[in-house]
Amino acid sequence: MTERRYEGIGATPTVGIGTATWYRPTDVTDLDEPPAAEDVDAAAERERFDEAQADARAELEAERESTRERVGDDEAAVFDAHLKFLEDPQIESGVEAALDDGLPAPHAVMEAFEGPIEQFEGMDGMMAERADDLRDIRDRLLRLLTGTERTDLGSLPDGSVVLAEMLTPSDTAQLDPEAITGIATSKGGRTAHAAIIARSLGIPAVVGIGDELDAIEDGQQVVVDGEAGVVIAEPDEETRQRAAESTQTPVVEESVATADGREIEVAANLGTPVEAEPAVDRGADGVGLFRTEFLFQDRSAAPDEDEQYDAYHEVCETFAAGLTGEEPRIVVRTLDVGGDKPIDYLDLDPEENGFLGARGIRLSLEEHADLFETQLRALLRVAATDAGAGLAVMFPLVSTVEELEAALEQVEQVADDLESEGVEYAIPELGVMVETPASTYLADAFAERVDFLSIGTNDLTQYIQSAQRDLDRMTDYQDPLAPAVVRAIDRTVTAGHAGGAWVGMCGEMAGDPELTELLVGLGLDELSMSAVTIPDVKTAIQEVDTEAADALAESVLAADTLAEVQDCL
Amino acid sequence: MERTLTVVPDDGLHARPAATFVETAGSFDAEVTVEAVDGNRPAVSADSMLGVTGLGVRGGDDVRLVAEGPDAEAALDALEAILSTPEDELDDMELP
């Protein structure tokens, strides 16, 4: 028996192996001929439609919430779009008209969606995918109207590879990433919903394989290579082994050191407290960047001190419970808002508060000093708790020593207030997020005043390269390996150490295992990244020899162009 | 009351600009319709996401807005502001 290969589009950079399980949802669009109009009770059909619409709404809302929790806000947004379409005036008036013509509810739904679906199918790219969304909503309504059992994707046995023509948002909302080791679809592109969700859930996926996929039968063993964009049915021994090796890097729970014994802390970047547990599971030693903006966004007023206390304490507790030994370090960044991170009640202006305007610590020391004070009160209280013993507080976008001193004074002031109120508090480790060119030049002065520096490479790259992050035209300038950026990092680490501070990195760059050796060579003490890449980076650290890493850093620092830097790696 | 204007966001009336447009249109009492000036499709209700995105309007295209109702002028002003704002600045706009 020889293995069979099916080429498609790789949607995730991971490989999985498992048992083929075809997902073939019941075709709900295959309706019987409608009865004659005079035999249809129009009022009852209207009620039937209203009920199905209400049920669909409830399902969509539940799926939106579960996707938001499991995957994230961006991925949940598709359900908002579906909710809008479900109640769109054009659809509703189409259904209304068909009901008036004497059609039963399911046929009225078919008819109301037909025009819009055809219209979107005729468009190109992203808009054509809207037709899939509409079909998904239509089929949901039809399933509810006809009382068809839902094909269950949520309870597949462990080690299943799901094969399907395509997966709709409602299908993917049920996927269990623990059980499913791969997805392969005959239709769809990299931007298809299934591809996006698979990426976020870390499920290996290949899409757009074509009808050849039908040749794979239920129960056959399948390798899904999302990196190469290929699906292999009935793989031979060698392929199986290669797949098993390249599946996921095993989690390293304990803290790691280089091959010759230099310890490097590997921490997670968090955007919300719910991300803490998955980060512990992936082996995070602590948190190197806990963004606090989530507490302030999507609401009409700022959170009070107790609400903030609870959120920070929750993360500390999750880590303290998940790890043994010393209290893990949890670096909380104080509110970092500006023009690109709008918050309704803060009245920010895209110019005034843009990338070169009043943002980060600048707002905390002036316009929003009250928010800063409240946040510091909550943080100092958490620092006094058992779980919060490893708490650290970091100030964003500091560019002068005056700002840093003002922030430190504010910490002292808050401590004095809590003292006189008889509230328990402790002063946590304090640090500066290095993300402006100015801060790289002042790293020594900062290091003398705080415990640590953490380099935010995303903003640092933008400012060093003078190229705005969100402009497509500027993409070429955004590489943190640009010689100017690498030299700024080197300068910061050296000056930080000279001033007695530990120096970490919390930008995207820190999570790239291919750059780990270079970062070790540049002298970083801590690397903080999104949780998914932690196992890879921990494994990479264990393979580093510091002497070789130092030599690599030296050659990279001698390079004058991006191409030369890349040649060194 | 009607107004013809050129759509600024590169993506045209899709995705976020469309969502903001539809939401804003729905917040006024006035009945607003929109059509592509060069298009061959009939005007659609401005509070229908489906209708609006289905127009296939792209950045640089001209659209005609027609509004009827007590707050027609305010509605047209607000919708014109959205269509004249590049997508990446939409977040910072103050909407009614």
Test the B interface: residue of A74, A127, A129 with most B CBs within 10 Å: A127
Distance (Å, whole) CA A562 – CA A566: 6
Give the ipTM: 0.76
Q: Using only C-alpha atoms, what is the Rg of chain A?
A: 27
How many Cβ pairs closer than 8 A exist between chain A and B? 44
Per-residue pLDDT of A452-491, as tens digits, reads 999 999 899 999 999 877 776 777 888 999 999 999 999 9
Q: Do A89 and B91 touch (CB under 8 A)?
A: no
Mean pLDDT of A537-555: 95
User: Chain A neighbours among B 5-64 (CB < 8 Å)?
Assistant: 14-15, 19, 22, 44-45, 47-51, 53-54, 56
Listed range (A170-174, A330-334, A484-488, B27-31) with the worst mean pLDDT = A170-174
Same domain, A370 and A509: yes
Per-residue pLDDT of A84-94, as tens digits, reads 889 998 899 99
Among the CATH numbers 3.30.1340.10, 3.40.50.300, 3.30.420.40, 3.40.50.970, which is that of B2-85? 3.30.1340.10
Minimum-distance CB partner of A85 among B15, B49, B88: B49
| B91: chain A residues, CB-CB within 8 Å | 340, 342
Structural domain spans, chain B: 2-85
Minimum-distance CB partner of A127 among B14, B45, B51: B14
Query: Helices marked H in A304-393 — which ranges?
Result: 305-322, 361-365, 369-383
pLDDT at position A322: 74
Kindly report the CATH number assigned to the domain that includes residue A106.
Answer: 1.10.274.10
Q: What mean pLDDT is reported for chain A?
A: 89
Q: Which residue has the higher pLDDT, A326 or A493?
A: A493
Distance (Å, whole) CA A559 – CA A543: 24
Per-residue pLDDT of A64-82, as tens digits, reads 888 888 777 777 888 888 8
Instruction: Name, of A327-341, A393-407, A520-534, the range with top average pLDDT.
Output: A393-407
Give the domain-ending residue among A224, A246, A268: A246
Per-residue pLDDT of A3-17, as tens digits, reads 899 999 988 878 888
User: So which residues of A are the catalytic ones?
Assistant: 193, 506
Distance (Å, whole) CA A204 – CA A13: 7
| B22: chain A residues, CB-CB within 8 Å | 84
Mean pLDDT of A440-463: 95
Minimum-distance CB partner of B50 among A91, A126, A470: A91
DSSP secondary structure string for all residues of A139-188: HHHHHHHHTPPPP--TTPPTTEEEEES---HHHHTT--TTTEEEEEESS-
Distance (Å, whole) CA A235 – CA A230: 12
Q: Which amino acid is at A288?
A: G
Residue A323 pLDDT > 80, yes or no?
no
The answer to whether the pTM exceeds 0.90 is no
Distance (Å, whole) CA B25 – CA A353: 28
Q: How far off is chain B from A128, nearest CA to CA, in Å?
A: 10
| B88: chain A residues, CB-CB within 8 Å | 470
pLDDT at position A69: 80
Which residue's structure tokens are 């005959």?
Answer: A186
Q: How many helices (H) and strands (E) does chain B have?
A: 3, 4
Same domain, A456 and A533: yes
Residue A41 pLDDT > 70, yes or no?
yes
Closest chain A residue by Cα to residue B47: A89
Closest CA to A404 of A349, A375, A364, A370: A364
| A88: chain B residues, CB-CB within 8 Å | 48-51
Give the domain-ending residue among A193, A220, A246: A246
Closest chain B residue by Cα to residue A346: B92
Residue A541 pLDDT > 90, yes or no?
yes
Q: Do A348 and B56 touch (CB under 8 A)?
A: no
Lateral strand order in the sheet of A205-207: A4-7, A230-233, A221-225, A15-22, A160-164, A180-185, A205-207, A9-10
Mean pLDDT of A192-210: 81
A130: domain range? 37-146
| B32: chain A residues, CB-CB within 8 Å | none
Mean pLDDT of A265-285: 88
For the annotated binding site of A, the residues are 291, 333, 435, 458-459, 469
Q: Which residue has the higher pLDDT, A546 or B90?
A: A546
**Does A435 fall in a domain?**
yes
Listed range (A14-28, A143-157, B23-37) with the worst mean pLDDT = A143-157
In this prediction, the residues of chain B whose per-residue pLDDT falls under 50 are none
Per-residue pLDDT of A211-227, as tens digits, reads 999 999 999 999 999 88
Domain count, chain A: 3
Residues whose CB is less than 8 angstroms from the CB of residue A33 and which lie 6 or more positions away in sequence, other chains included: none
Distance (Å, whole) CA A251 – CA A283: 6
Q: Which residue has the higher pLDDT, A192 or A403?
A: A403
Residue A191 pLDDT > 70, yes or no?
no
Same domain, A321 and A362: yes
Same domain, A105 and A242: no
Kindly report the CATH number assigned to the domain that includes residue A219.
Answer: 3.50.30.10
Element (H, E) at A75: helix A73-86
Q: Which two tokens stand for residue A231?
A: 């699906």
Q: Which two tokens stand for residue A190?
A: 């990299």
**Does A31 fall in a domain?**
no
Minimum-distance CB partner of B54 among A81, A120, A126: A120
Listed range (A105-109, A222-226, A231-235, A326-330) with the worst mean pLDDT = A326-330
Listed range (A79-93, A401-415, A511-525) with the worst mean pLDDT = A79-93
Closest CA to B81 of B10, B35, B17: B17
CB A186 within 8 A of CB A211: yes
pLDDT at position A505: 97
Confidence of residue A248 (pLDDT cuts 50, 70, 90): low
Residue A179 pLDDT > 90, yes or no?
no
Q: Do B49 and A81 touch (CB under 8 A)?
A: yes
Give the domain-ending residue among A246, A280, A302: A246
CB B59 within 8 A of CB B36: no
For the annotated binding site of A for phosphoenolpyruvate, the residues are 291, 333, 458-459, 469
Q: Which residue has the higher pLDDT, A359 or A496?
A: A496
Residue A169 pLDDT > 60, yes or no?
yes
Q: How far off is chain A from B5, nearest CA to CA, in Å?
A: 23
Test the A interface: residue of B35, B45, B48, B87 with most A CBs within 10 Å: B48
Per-residue pLDDT of A278-300, as tens digits, reads 788 888 999 999 999 888 887 88
Same domain, A510 and A412: yes
**Does A254 fall in a domain?**
no
Please report the sign of the dihedral spanned by the C-alpha atoms of residue A435, residue A441, residue A446, residue A452: positive
Residue A344 pLDDT > 90, yes or no?
no
Minimum-distance CB partner of A349 among B19, B53, B92: B92
Closest CA to A393 of A420, A424, A414: A414
Closest CA to A375 of A401, A393, A348, A357: A393
| B48: chain A residues, CB-CB within 8 Å | 88-90
pLDDT at position A77: 80
CB A200 within 8 A of CB A71: yes
Q: Quick one: what percent of chain B has pLDDT higher than 70?
A: 93
Mean pLDDT of A423-440: 96
Confidence of residue A342 (pLDDT cuts 50, 70, 90): low
| B19: chain A residues, CB-CB within 8 Å | 81, 84
Residue A193 pLDDT > 60, yes or no?
yes
User: So which residues of B are the catalytic ones?
Assistant: 14
pLDDT at position A245: 66
Same domain, A314 and A442: yes
Instruction: Name, of A88-92, A247-251, A274-278, A381-385, the range with top average pLDDT.
Output: A381-385
Q: Do B56 and A126 touch (CB under 8 A)?
A: no
pLDDT at position B50: 85
pLDDT at position A324: 63
Secondary structure (3-state) at A102: coil
Test the A interface: residue of B10, B40, B50 with most A CBs within 10 Å: B50
Same domain, A278 and A367: yes
CB A442 within 8 A of CB A405: no
Buried residues in A199-229 as b, exposed as e (16+ CB within 10 A): bbbebbbbbbbeeebeebeeebbbbbbbeeb
Distance (Å, whole) CA A88 – CA A74: 22
Same domain, A51 and A190: no
Burial of A2 from C-beta contacts in 10 A (0-12 / 13-18 / 19+)? exposed
Residues whose CB is less than 8 angstroms from the CB of residue A124 and which lie 6 or more positions away in sequence, other chains included: none
